[in-house]
Structure 1
Amino acid sequence: MDLEMSAIPDIQNLQDDDENKQQIPVGTFEMPDTVAVDVPTQTPVKFNPDWDKKIIKTATLKLEINDHKKYTGFVHNAVKLHGAYIAQEEQNLADEKLETILTIKVPVAQFEAIMNKLPGDDGKVLERKINTDDVTGEVVDTKVRLEAKKQMRLKYLEFLKRSKNMAEVLQVQQEINSIQEEIESAAGRVAFLSHQSLYSTINLTFYQPMPGFTSADETPSFLNRIATAFKNGTSWIGDLLIGLISIWPLMLILAVIYMGWKVARRPKVISQKA
């Protein structure tokens, strides 16, 4: 009997302890009146980087051709054959040449093949230059930061669910919007670099000398030099005459002023009465 009575206080103490434990708040999320939100710490992101080479190739090729129309068709066929496309095309006609400037986007695997094919059979290569830019590191780094921002956004979304009032909701939502903008910017950068590395760029310029003008690798003859000098002199005289005609109002004003000055300087005759 004594043993049973002695056990009663222990049971009572345990019940008191349980009641005290139930009074302790667990998992509450309250913000002060100043609505200060603690920035969640970033946990290490598990990301398996893709170390495949991302190399952007840009080439410049300048050619002199004999038949502009024929070579234009040849270029368009070569572009289709190699799975490329023309991003921009510009044509210029001058006295000395008919010129076309193309920006060609070509798959990386077809870059060397189309570069070797573009000169054709009779094209004279005046300039050939190839630049490469390895952006592998930038792509991997941007992807890692992108994954970290996504994890950060998930944590803020949890904060948003536990917000108590409208002020807290607005502040957390503002942080989420800012992170979302950074995510979209990083994703756009990765997509741009990936596309640039998949398609190389060729800046192709080709032209046909007009009749009467020499090729780029030929020295003009004496007669051609005389003809060019005569043409330049005629053009200069024409420009001078056009310039003088364009300022005829000023010349008219100067003529009126000169005539008035001459009249003012004319000696006056004083008549004498007999």
Structure 2
Amino acid sequence: MNKITGAFVWLALLLGSCSSKKQEAGEAVADQAVTLAAPALEYAPAANASGASADAEQPETLANGSSGPAAVPVNPAARQLIYRADVDIKVRDLARTVTRVDSIVRRSGSWVGAAAQTRSDEEWRQEMTIRVRPEKFTGLLSGLSTLGTVERKSLTSDDVTAEHADVAARLRTKRALEQRYIGLLGQAKKVSEVLEIEAKIGQVREEIESAESRFKALNDQVAYSTITLKLYQPLALPTPGAPVLSFGSRVAEAFYGGWEFVTNLFIGLIYLWPLLILLGIGLWLLRRWRQRRVQPRAEA
């Protein structure tokens, strides 16, 4: 009986030891999974209990007051388009035309972003950049076309819908990754772990700032179209009047012209000296030939 009881006790101890080893192995695997989760955060955003991104539930607001990339767009199917136009207009009075441009721009609710004016002997030119809402883009172009003669007009549009969505998605992912790293930073116990996580946080924040800058630029270009307007006024060059010459001045001019003609003729003859020599030789040979023909007749 004692032998059977001892066998049961030994078997119970053996099963308890195996269960303890399995529990330790499970904890080691769990710790390894937590360690491997940190690098994987760069490719997967944090998810809540429903499986959706944590940032997607809380829309964010950027510094300029516009809705951030974490906000769900009201109309996901809307296209993100950037409109641009380059217009060259020839005007009669540049100063008056610039005043008209300011009036037209203010009435349309637009604004001038930059302006530069240059003047040369041939023309007076002013170039300005106008920012306008897309819904008033065509109307403003029509109003500007009445300022003078439109010599060039170029219209372009860029569809940045895919880029806009990509930047917004990357920004959400990077922000979720930053929060996960901050959570791991609170659980770190070694100095080396703290330094490594802080370096990762700094890298992620740089990427977030770059994505935010690009996102704001896209929003600005979509919200306000750009018109580059070039106005120029041709300037007439003054023509000097013909001077009134007196009789003495005309006589002196005639003497000077005659002397200049003689001088040019003499210089021209000098240029022709090879032809003069050849002509002289030709005349001499012709005279000798005639003398030889005349001499036999005289002797006969």
**Structure 2 residue identity aligned to 1:116:** S
RMSD (CA atoms): 3.5
Residue 51 (structure 1) shift: 3.6
Higher helix share: 2
What CA distance in whole angstroms lies between the structure 1 residues aligned with 2:165 and 2:208? Answer: 15
Q: Which has the larger radius of gyration?
A: 2
Q: Is the Cα–Cα contact under 8 Å of residues 87 and 103 in structure 1 kept in the other structure?
A: yes
Q: Does residue 134 of the first structure (1) align with residue 126 of the second (2)?
A: no
Match of 2:121 among 91, 95, 105: 95
| Identical counterparts, % of pairs | 26
State the match for 2:93 in structure 1.
67
Counterparts in 2 of 1:21-40, with a 5 A limit? Answer: 24=24, 26=27, 38-40=38-40
Residue 43 (structure 1) shift: 3.4
Distance 1:212 1:58, change over 3 A: same
Distance 1:186 1:138, change over 3 A: same
Match of 1:56 among 68, 75, 82: 82
What CA distance in whole angstroms lies between the structure 2 residues aligned with 1:156 and 1:68? Answer: 60
Q: Is the Cα–Cα contact under 8 Å of residues 40 and 155 in structure 1 kept in the other structure?
A: no
State the match for 2:148 in structure 1.
123
**Structure 2 residue identity aligned to 1:123:** G
Q: Which has the higher contact order (CA 8 A, sep 6+)?
A: 1
Residue 26 (structure 1) shift: 4.8
Instruction: Give deviations 1:93-140, integer Å, cap 9, x for gaps.
Output: 1112211111111111110000000022x5001111111111111000
Q: Is the Cα–Cα contact under 8 Å of residues 57 and 131 in structure 1 kept in the other structure?
A: yes
Match of 1:149 among 174, 179, 182: 174
Q: Is the Cα–Cα contact under 8 Å of residues 38 and 181 in structure 2 kept in the other structure?
A: no
State the match for 1:168 in structure 2.
193
Mark the runs of 5 or more structure 2 residues left unpaired by the alignment. Answer: 46-51, 57-71, 243-300
**Structure 2 residue identity aligned to 1:210:** L
How many residues align structurally? 205
Distance 1:164 1:29, change over 3 A: farther
**Structure 2 residue identity aligned to 1:176:** I
TM-score, normalised relative to structure 1? 0.64
TM-score, normalised relative to structure 2? 0.59
